[in-house]
Amino acid sequence: MTGRDKKLTYVDAGVNIDAGNRAVHLMRKSVQSTFRPEVLTDIGGFGGFFALNKDKYREPVLVAGTDGVGTKLRVAMLMDRHNTIGIDAVAMCVNDILVQGAEPLFFLDYLAVGKLFPEKVASIVEGVAEGCRQARCALIGGETAEMPGFYSPDEYDLAGFAVGVVERGKIVDGRGIVPGDRLIGLPSAGLHSNGYSLARKVLFEIAGFSVNTYQEKLGRTVGEEMLEPTVIYVKAVAPLLDRFEIKGLAHITGGGLKENVPRVLPQGTGVKISLGSWPVPPVFDLIRQKGNVAEQEMLRTFNMGIGLVAVVAAAQTEEVMADLSARGEKSYLIGEVVAGGPEVIFV
């Protein structure tokens, strides 16, 4: 058969429908493990159905968020380890809606690949499912797009979309924050999913490390440290929302404490944060030293060991921290609200 006579197929163009079907088969159990009673559809439909329990709420307000994992994906590719990066995709979305006071309900993922390897895709989605289990939300849909010529065969991108619900009267929006309120910080697990362009430049280019370089200071390889999943704070924070008046919550992502805490402050208030009031994971000191990065640049790029901040009345501070401790959650009193502009003063 001549080249002119050959019947061209989608596989010849780089897209394998059979591989896609196999990937769906491999991920089915992990996806189903996230289903809540409100889920009405199985994997494979054109859309996911979720029946909101209207009797549970008086004035339900839906809260939606979307995010990606950023260049942390490059570390997963370098290590050829893909079963945790999905946790980060879920965390970046559900933590953002959690700080509005919302209970995460369901999640959808978008995965674009250069070449669809079913086992690899299933591993990525297993991470997404694990994140959903930690967040107590259902993975009710997603899209896996094979895009040859757009991504190289080993490359992929991952993003997510979360929807939650909160009573209108219980929305956490910071409007009740006043000078004298206290800031409680919940620890991060390290870099989480932010600042990786700077982290990779310092650790891989300037320091000359590889993902397999063991660092005594870290107690593991550089790759293992950088691939540590983002903490999902639903388990820690949801009970607080039921038991206390949480005036404000901030998810500490890109921009660090300096940029994210002011997002929840009302006009006429700022915060003072006491450096040294919480332990800073060693990865940040490693980046600062190897890259000669100024402290202020570190503070406006990385979370520096605090992944979420809760603002509470001074009188409730000890009780809130005791509640967290009783449930095995660490927390630190890191600062207070002051009069002034919406800025962060580090002392």
* Spatial distance between the Cα atoms of 84 and 81, rounded to a whole number of angstroms: 8
Q: What is the pLDDT of residue 6?
A: 76
Q: What is the pLDDT of residue 343?
A: 87
* pLDDT tens-digit series, residues 251-291: 999 999 999 999 999 999 999 999 999 999 999 999 999 99
Q: Is the pLDDT of residue 232 over 70?
A: yes
At 180, list the tokens.
């004298």
Residue 19 pLDDT class (50, 70, 90 cuts): confident
Contact partners, residue 249, CB within 8 Å, separation at least 6: 98, 99, 100, 101, 172, 237, 264, 308, 309, 310, 311
User: Edge-to-edge strands of the sheet including 138-146?
Assistant: 60-68, 156-167, 103-113, 138-146
Question: What is the set of domains in the chain, with CATH numbers?
Answer: 17-170 (3.30.1330.10), 182-346 (3.90.650.10)
Across 137-156, average pLDDT = 93
* pLDDT tens-digit series, residues 172-225: 999 999 999 999 999 999 999 999 999 999 999 999 999 999 999 999 999 999
Q: What is the pLDDT of residue 4?
A: 63
At 323, list the tokens.
């509640």
Q: Is the pLDDT of residue 3 over 70?
A: no
What are phi and psi for residue 214, nearest 5 degrees?
A: -80, 130
* pLDDT tens-digit series, residues 299-317: 999 999 999 999 999 999 9
SS3 for 276-288, per residue?
CCCCCCHHHHHHH
Q: How many CB atoms lie within 10 A of CB 85?
A: 26
Q: What is the pLDDT of residue 114?
A: 95
What are phi and psi for residue 41, nearest 5 degrees?
A: -120, 160
* pLDDT tens-digit series, residues 268-278: 999 999 999 99
Instruction: Identify the three-state secondary structure at position 93.
Output: helix
Q: How buried is residue 136: exposed, middle or buried, by Cβ count under 10 Å (0-12/13-18/19+)?
A: middle
Q: What is the pLDDT of residue 45?
A: 77
Q: What is the pLDDT of residue 34?
A: 84
Task: Say how far residue 240 (Cα) sits from the centre of its chain.
Answer: 20
> Between 21 and 113, where is the model more confident?
113
* Spatial distance between the Cα atoms of 296 and 288, rounded to a whole number of angstroms: 11
Across 10-17, average pLDDT = 81
Q: Is the pLDDT of residue 44 over 80?
A: no
Looking only at the bridges linking them, the beta strands covering 156-167 and 103-113 are antiparallel
Q: What is the pLDDT of residue 23?
A: 80
**Nearest C-alpha neighbor of 257 from the set 191, 212, 307, 319:** 307
Q: Which residue has the tokens 């490693």?
A: 286
Q: What is the pLDDT of residue 2?
A: 54
Residue 14 pLDDT class (50, 70, 90 cuts): confident
If you average pLDDT over every residue of the chain, what do you get?
Answer: 93
Please check whether residue 245 is in contact with residue 171, taking contact to mean a CB–CB distance below 8 angstroms.
Answer: no
> Between 12 and 146, where is the model more confident?
146
Q: Around 282, how many Cα atoms within 13 Å sit in the side-chain half-sphere?
A: 9
* Spatial distance between the Cα atoms of 225 and 15, rounded to a whole number of angstroms: 34
